[in-house]
Amino acid sequence: MAKIVVDVMLKPEILDPQGDAVASALLRLGFSFAQSVRQGKRFEIEVEGEPTASQISQVEKAAELLLSNSVIETYVVRVEK
C-alpha cells in the first residue's frame, strides 16, 4: 500500500508559538543544538496500489482547498512507499 503524504507548514513569516515552546523545552532538557523549531502537520493518505498521476493531482487540489490555508501555510505533496 503506497501513501500520498502532504506536509503542511506555517509560512516563515507567520509566528509559530508552538514551535517556539518546543524550542524552549528542548533547551531546558539540555538539547542546545536547536536554533529554532517550526511545528507543522503531516497527512498520510493511503491509496490502493501505486498512486496514479490523477490521484496525486486530486490530492494537490485537496491540499489547496482543505488541508492547508494559503493565507498562513504552505504544503508539499509527495509519494511514500
Partner 1 sequence: MRVGVITFPGTLDDKDAARAITRSGAQAVSLWHGDADLKRVEAVILPGGFSYGDYLRAGAISRFAPVMKSVIEAAGEGMPVLGICNGFQVLCESHLLPGALTRNSDLHFLCRDQEIEITSNKTPWTRTFSINEKIVIPIKNGEGSFQCDDKTLAQLEDQGRVIARYVGDNPNGSRNLIAGISNEQGNVVGLMPHPEHAIDPLTGPSGAGLGFFTSILNSMVK
Q: For residue 70, with 0-12 CB atoms within 10 Å meaning exposed, 13-18 middle and 19 or more buried, which class applies?
A: exposed
Cβ closer to partner 1: 2 or 19?
Answer: 19
Between 21 and 76, whose beta carbon lies closer to partner 1? 21
**Interacting residues with partner 1 between 22 and 61 (CB under 8 A):** none
The C-alpha atoms of residue 12 and residue 3 are separated, in whole angstroms, by 27
- Closest C-alpha among 6, 10, 34 to residue 21: 34
Asked if residue 62 binds partner 1 (CB under 8 A), the reply is no
Residue ranges that bind partner 1, judged by CB under 8 A: 10, 13-15, 17-18, 21, 66-67, 69, 71-72
